């Protein structure tokens, strides 16, 4: 089997470090370069044949990869993804914080170029199931709030998973303003972010990794659907599946729920 040639952007980050290990331990994956903010031109972690590039375009031209795995920041992630598609490199993007407009623009670009791309706010299989189960429950419960909890180094709020969950629920749930019609916030932000009437509450604390609870309320009952990632290895089977799947795609897919059975 021919190896899938991979470039990783953000290889020294919390997720990037895990992704480097995944690529190196997978027989049919090959790390051909990394995109970092520093150490341009040096060898990455002393590895033969794996050069560090601070310029993503130069990296794509020199290393000719099949796939880019991006695990950086919202701002850099968007630039890298766009450049990858333009250079015929299939992006697998875990970076969160993309707006609806960003996703539309990238999706259109991928379609124009006929290039596969995957943007997944959460690579953990359990989190994908949590979102799917929440969408199922939304048929029976109209009232729902999302509490997403992450480590305190996270840049974006609400989390990509929180927003994706609200989007999936909204595909089923009829629009509704929840709570008392006359409710007011005596402290701004008390009721959380509002996604089509669904409230998303963001908790940021040291000690946490990535956790989410979706709470549905009905007559005399609540239903809680919860997922916890206790380490970042939990995301790697989803990264592996995405790299394998993106090779067979010619459009952009947003969310792992669209590629698992």
Ligand X SMILES: NC(=O)c1ccc[n+]([C@@H]2O[C@H](COP(=O)([O-])OP(=O)(O)OC[C@H]3O[C@@H](n4cnc5c(N)ncnc54)[C@H](O)[C@@H]3O)[C@@H](O)[C@H]2O)c1
State which residue, 39 or 204, has the beta carbon closest to ligand LLHOTIJI.
204
Give residues in contact with ligand X (CB under 6 A): 9-10, 12-16, 35-37, 71-73, 76, 94-97, 120-123, 235
Q: How far apart are CA 140 and CA 142, in angstroms?
A: 7
CB of 168 to ligand LLHOTIJI, least distance (A): 13
119 contact choice in ligand LLHOTIJI, ligand X, none (CB below 5 to 8 Å, kind-dependent) = none
**Crossing angle, helix 236-246 and helix 14-25, to 10 degrees?**
60
Q: Name residues contacting ligand LLHOTIJI, limited to 103-162 (CB under 6 A).
A: 121-122, 150, 154, 159-161
Residue with tokens 């970076």: 95
Degrees, nearest 5: CA angle 125-247-10: 65
Decide if residue 210 touches ligand LLHOTIJI (CB under 6 A). Answer: yes
The site partner of 95 among ligand LLHOTIJI, ligand X, none (C-beta below 5 to 8 Å per kind) is ligand X
Q: Considering the complex, what minimum distance in angstroms separates the CB of residue 177 from ligand LLHOTIJI? A: 25
Q: What is the DSSP string of 218-238?
A: ETTEEEEEEEEE-SGGGGHHH
Distance of CA 91 to the CA centre of its chain: 12
Element (H, E) at 118: strand 117-119
User: Is residue 204 a contact residue for ligand LLHOTIJI (CB under 6 A)?
Assistant: no
């Amino acid at each position: 089997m021919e190896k899938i040639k991979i470039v990783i952007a953000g290889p020294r980050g919390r997720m990037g470090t895990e992704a480097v290990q995944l690529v190196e331990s997978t027989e049919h994956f090959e790390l051909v370069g990394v995109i970092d903010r520093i150490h341009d031109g040096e060898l990455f972690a002393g590895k033969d044949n794996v050069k560090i590039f601070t310029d993503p375009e130069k990296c794509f031209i020199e290393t000719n990869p099949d796939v880019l795995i991006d695990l950086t920041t919202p701002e850099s992630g968007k630039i890298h993804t766009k450049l990858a598609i333009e250079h015929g490199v299939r992006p697998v993007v875990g970076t969160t914080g993309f707006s609806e407009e960003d996703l539309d623009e990238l999706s259109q670009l991928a379609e124009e170029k006929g290039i596969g791309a995957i943007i997944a706010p959460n690579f953990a299989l359990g989190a994908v199931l949590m979102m799917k189960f929440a969408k199922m429950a939304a048929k029976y419960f109209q009232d729902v709030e999302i509490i997403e909890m992450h480590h305190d180094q996270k840049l974006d709020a609400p989390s990509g998973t929180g927003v994706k969950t609200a989007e999936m629920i909204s595909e089923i749930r009829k629009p509704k303003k929840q709570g008392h019609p006359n409710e007011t916030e005596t402290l701004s932000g008390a009721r959380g972010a509002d996604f089509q009437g669904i409230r998303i509450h963001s908790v940021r604390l040291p000690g946490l990794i990535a956790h989410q609870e979706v709470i549905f309320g009905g007559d005399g009952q609540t239903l809680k659907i919860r997922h916890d990632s206790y380490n970042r290895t939990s995301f790697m089977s989803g990264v592996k599946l995405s790299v394998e799947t993106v090779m067979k795609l010619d459009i952009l897919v947003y969310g792992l729920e669209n590629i698992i059975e």
